[in-house]
Amino acid sequence: MEDSYVTFLVLGIVLVVIDGQLIYHSGRGYLKRAYDDEEATSMIRLAVVLFHLVVLGLLALVSLISVETGNATKDVVMKLGIVLLLLALAHGVTMAILARIRDRQLQQQLADQMAEEHRIYEERHAHVGEPRPAPKIESPYSAT
């Protein structure tokens, strides 16, 4: 029984670490479209740490569930099935969070760009509609 418990934990941890690395590498490239390299790296590290903490916590809780199929191998497979489903859910939630972060940043960049273009337009067209000063005409009879 003890061997199946250790086997379950080792396999679960390996699965969590592999998925975390996939999220890190893919998510970093995904966020680089909206952030510079340093910001993207910081954001994805925070997300991956949260992912690992949540999923490892779930793994610890699932490891305490008693499954009695009569076969130690089946017990491990049953628990791993539960962990894989929870891992898929956590992966999906993490992807949704990264997409939301990226979309908000892209929207902010678009809003900033539009505001800058509007400012430039206003500067270029500020004189339109304003009264122009009359040109100076010098009289040929003026004293020099």
| Locus of tokens 């859910």 | 89
Q: With the CA atoms of 58, 39, 36 and 17 taken in that order, what torsion angle do they form, in degrees rounded to the nearest 10?
A: -30
Tokens of 3: 């061997």
Tell me: the pLDDT tens digits for 38-76? 999 999 999 999 999 999 999 999 999 888 888 888 888
Q: Is the pTM of this model over 0.75?
A: no
